[in-house]
Amino acid sequence: MSEATKTKAETDGQPPRRGKRGPRSDKPERILAYLRQYFAEHRYPPSVRDIVEGCNLSSTSVADYNLKILEREGHIHRDRERARTISLTEPVEPTEPARIESSRSSIGVPLLGSIAAGTRSLVPEGVDVAHAESRISVTSDMLAGRDPEQVFALTVRGDSMIDALIADNDTVILEEATNIANGQMAAVWLRDENICTLKRLYYEQGQVRLQPENPTMAPIFTNESNMQIQGRVVSVIRHPR
């Protein structure tokens, strides 16, 4: 073997780890380190897209391939049919995010009900805090300077926004809005269907496309006259799976 073809590990005097097609990359170890850090900070599993971004991978398929390696080697368990089901086989000591968050001001946001993200459910028509089921506590940084009197929360039902990292039973924080820019995510009341749904909005040739973030689901097409925008998504509270 020439010097030009030697791996870094070999030139450092370390035997390289090899896979079926040659020296093994460091991606499994990078992902495992990321998982340990994520669990320690958040105490719930990341999504595959979190792993792609956190480990600077090229695609979800690359992440999945390396997760299979970690699973085969006994480092993790997961249910591939469901989102956010990765678990580590070793214990991880949590960090103390609560101490960090305690320095931020806490704000009570009214929880108005549920919103459909794949299944069709109803919310009170219009934004009316008098109908709030309860109030949830959020930190001021989640509102990014928005007026606390102009925000509200809804519980997500369904998985149509799963690729936007919004899953069933998560909570979305919205600001009251009547106009939404192209591509923004919003809660939209469809008058004829009498439902409220969470989708990305795209204005196209006299109609509006309500686009899910789930490749298995089709968009909804409607006229502007049939819809009432109830709020623009500003933050998401993800719940453990």
The predicted pLDDT at position 25 comes to 82
| Domain termination residue (choose one: 58, 88, 118) | 88
Question: What is the DSSP code string of 46-83?
Answer: PPHHHHHHHTT-S-HHHHHHHHHHHHHTTSEE--TTSS
Does residue 67 sit in the same domain as residue 160? no
Residue 136: inside a domain: yes
Q: What does the angle CA 171 – CA 175 – CA 176 come to, to the nearest 5 degrees?
A: 125
d(CA 97, CA 37): 12
Entry pTM: 0.52
Does residue 118 sit in the same domain as residue 231? yes
CATH code of 120's domain? 2.10.109.10
Spell out, as residue ranges, where the chain has pLDDT lower than 70.
Answer: 1-23, 42-44, 80-84, 92-105, 116-133, 240-241
Does residue 136 sit in the same domain as residue 211? yes
The predicted pLDDT at position 29 comes to 92
| Domain termination residue (choose one: 27, 56, 88) | 88
Residue 11: inside a domain: no
Please tell me the total count of domains within the chain.
2
Q: Which residues of 204-233 are buried (b: 16+ CB within 10 A; e: fewer)?
A: eeeebbbbbbbeebeebebeeeebebbbbb
Does residue 144 sit in the same domain as residue 178? yes
d(CA 78, CA 68): 9
Does residue 120 sit in the same domain as residue 181? yes
Does residue 45 sit in the same domain as residue 113? no
Q: Which residues pair with 186 in a beta bridge?
A: 199, 232
216: containing domain:
104-237
* Beta strands at 151-157 and 195-204: parallel, antiparallel or unpaired: unpaired
HSE-up (13 A, CA, CB side) for residue 165: 16
H or E segment at 222?
A: strand 220-222
Residue 94: inside a domain: no
| Domain termination residue (choose one: 28, 63, 88) | 88
pLDDT (tens digit per residue) in 136-195: 777 777 777 777 778 888 888 888 888 888 888 888 888 888 788 888 899 888 888 888
* Catalytic site positions: 160, 199
Residue type, 87: S
